[in-house]
Amino acid sequence: MMRGSVCIWQRDMLVLKRNLFSEVITVLAFPLTFFITFGLGLKGYIQDIEGVPYAIFVVPGLISMTAVLGAFDDASWGMWFHRIVQKTIEEYRVNPITVTEIIVGKIISGFTSGVLKGITVGLSLLLLTGFQFTLLFLSVYLIFIFFGCITFSCIGSLCGTLIDKPENLGRVEAVVIMPLIFLAGLFFPLSAYPERVLPYIKAIPTTSLFDGARIALLTGKVDAFYLALLIASAIISFVLAVRVFEKKMHG
C-alpha cells in the first residue's frame, strides 16, 4: 500500500547517509553557536530561572529548535528541489504509486531528518553541559519532539509544494518560522511576557512544543493543553500538506 512512501524514504535516507559528515557539521554549528553565546556567554549575568541554571534552561529549546528546523528544511527544500529543479516528482508520478504515497514519503523523510538532527545536537549538548536527566523525562520530552517534527515536516512539505521561487522559501523561514520559534520562549521563561500577551503566546503551536518539551525534560511533567495543541497542529498540518499536494499534482 505505501510502497512509494518507503521507496522515497529509503532514497532520502541513502542521500542523507552519503552526506553524513557535512550534515553533522552543519547541524551542530547553529545550535552550538547559540549555546556558546547565550548559554555560556550570558550565564554569569542571568540568575537561575525557576531554579534551573540558565545554560541548562536553554538546552531543551536548542535541541527542539534543531529538530524542527531540520524537519522543516529537509521537507521544504527537498520537495521544492524534486518538484522544480530535478523534476523527479514527475518521474515518481508515472510509476504505479499514488501522489499520497509521494507526499507521505517526503513528510516521513523530513520527520526522520529532524529527529536525527535533534538527537545529534542533543547528545552533543548533554555531553557539554553534563546535564543529568532520567529516561522517563527523556521519553516524555521525545513525545513533544515527535509531534513537533511531524508538524514542521508537514509545514515544510506544504511550503515546498506551494512555493516556486527559492527566495520565497527562504523568506518564509526568516519571516514566519524563526519568529514563531523565538517567540515561544526559547531563551527566556514565558513568565517574562506581560500578562495580557501571554494567552496569545500560549496559543502558538511552537510554544506548546518549546515550553511543553522543556517542562517535560526538566520536570517530567506533561502539560495536557500543550500536548493536545501540538497533536492537533500535527494532524491539521498533515491533512493540509497531503490535500494541497494532491490538488496541485492533479491540476
Partner 1 sequence: MENEIELRRVAKAYGSLLAVKDVSFSVQKGTVFGLLGPNGAGKTTLVNMLTTLLKPTSGSAFVGGYDVVREAAKVRSLIGVVPQENNLDRYLTARENLILHAKMHGMSPSSYQRRIDELLSLMGLAERQKDFPNKFSTGMQRRLVVARALVHDPQILFLDEPTTGLDPQAKRAIWDYFLSLKGKRTLFLTTHNMEEADFLCDEISIIDNGSPIAHGTSAQLKEMAESARFYEIEVARNAEEYAQAFQRLSIIESSFLQDGSIQVCLKKEGNLGTLVEQIDLRDLKKISSREPSLEDVFLKLTGRRLRQ
Q: What residue ranges bind partner 1 (CB under 8 A)?
A: 3-4, 7, 10-11, 14-15, 18, 86-88, 90-98, 250-251
Nearer to partner 1, 11 or 43 (CB): 11
- The nearest distance, CB 4 to partner 1, in angstroms, is 6
Here the cell at position 250 is: 492533479
- The nearest distance, CB 88 to partner 1, in angstroms, is 5
* 33 and 1 Cβ atoms separated by less than 8 Å: no
Helix (H, G, I), strand (E, B) or coil at 180: helix
- The nearest distance, CB 81 to partner 1, in angstroms, is 9
Nearer to partner 1, 3 or 171 (CB): 3
Amino acid at 150: I
Nearer to partner 1, 103 or 213 (CB): 103
Angle between helices 135-162 and 99-129 (to 10 degrees): 140
* 75 and 107 Cβ atoms separated by less than 8 Å: yes
Q: How many Cα atoms sit within 13 Å of 59 on the Cβ side?
A: 28
Nearer to partner 1, 85 or 123 (CB): 85
Helix (H, G, I), strand (E, B) or coil at 59: helix
- The nearest distance, CB 108 to partner 1, in angstroms, is 16
Terminal-residue alpha carbon distance, the chain = 24
- The nearest distance, CB 119 to partner 1, in angstroms, is 23
* 144 and 213 Cβ atoms separated by less than 8 Å: yes
- The nearest distance, CB 248 to partner 1, in angstroms, is 12
Nearer to partner 1, 43 or 93 (CB): 93
The Cα–Cα gap between 167 and 82 comes to 16
Among 197, 171, 205, CA closest to 64: 205
Of all helices (H) and strands (E), which one includes residue 247? helix 224-250
Nearer to partner 1, 98 or 129 (CB): 98
